[in-house]
Amino acid sequence: MDRIDQWRAFIRVAEMESFTRASVALAWPRATVSLAVRRVEETLGVRLLHRTTRKVRLTPDGECFLQRARALVAEAEELERLFRHPSEEASGRLVVDVPSRVARRLVAPALWQLLERHPRLQVVLGATDRHVDPVAEGVDCIVRFGSLPDSDLVARRLGRVALVNCASPDYLKRHGMPRQVEDLATGHLMVGYVAPHSGREESFEVVEEGQVRNVELSSRVVVNNAENYIACCRAGLGLIQVPRFDVDDLLRGGELVEVLPQYRAEGLEVSLLYPHRRHRAVRIDVFMDWFAAIMAPYFETSSPS
């Protein structure tokens, strides 16, 4: 193992505060990671980490070395990239986190295309709707829908997906088909949704004459993930607002019905998030470009930033 790889191991252990998590993120044996860090300490002649049974913490020397090591590793990676052919295939282990429904409906079915194009690439596909700390959890890239909380992550915004208002046929039999926004006040319900990143229940939003308007609707059930959100709607428990691609098959099959199509909410922003690094690994760029391409047909306007 060369010195740059030893520094990479130290950086990952320091960021994740764990030899075990670092070994998983690097796809190296834990003993290899431990040996690499020990070699760095022996070469420098200082202790870089305080090790306990529960946690790994940086020493003052470790904090100083971490900043320089990050810069040096980034420079080494950039130097290597200068001599790569632009079409070089990506390789190594890529850890991504995607909303559960998007992972199941869009990413997983198309993933073979990415892997066929890059035979030396391994993708670790996480599917969650919760807040993810990419540094602590060793995640390279995160896909998120909606407004973004303030963070130190870099955001690449891809575009907006169209939202539709839906209800089940059974629900509409019991509550009637709303024709105007005012009809929602006659006993209609929504399925409540608590956004994992904010902990707040989302309101029912419509756009009327170009103006965004929040409509007060009661909810008898509140969920915190997309699977249950759609399942509760199919069970007749209330109206929902979801990306069109998420329920296209249910709308075509008659299991759900679009309501108030003239009052759809504003589109939902789609973003790719990744930790700030001066230089990104090729595999991250490859995944982001591939994901942007598979999402493009669903955007209201395909205008990545």
Locate the domains of the chain by residue range: 3-82, 92-161+269-298, 163-266
pLDDT score recorded for residue 140: 86
Averaged pLDDT, groups of 10, the chain, 305 residues long: 87 85 81 92 92 84 88 74 60 87 92 91 85 76 80 82 94 94 91 78 84 88 90 96 91 95 89 73 87 89 43
Q: Rounded distance, CA 53 to CA 18, Å? A: 10
pLDDT score recorded for residue 81: 60
- Residue type at 279? H
CATH class, 92-161+269-298 region: alpha beta
User: What angle do helix axes 30-44 and 19-26 make, rounded to 10 degrees?
Assistant: 110
Q: Rounded distance, CA 115 to CA 113, Å? A: 6
Choose which CATH entry (3.40.720.10, 3.40.1280.10, 3.10.20.30, 3.40.190.10) describes domain 163-266. 3.40.190.10
pLDDT score recorded for residue 80: 67
The reply to whether 92-161+269-298 and 163-266 are identical in fold is yes
pLDDT digits (tens, 9 = 90+) for 66-122: 888 887 887 776 676 666 554 556 778 888 999 888 999 999 999 999 999 888 888
Please state which architecture CATH assigns to domain 3-82. Orthogonal Bundle (1.10)
pLDDT digits (tens, 9 = 90+) for 49-65: 998 777 888 999 998 99
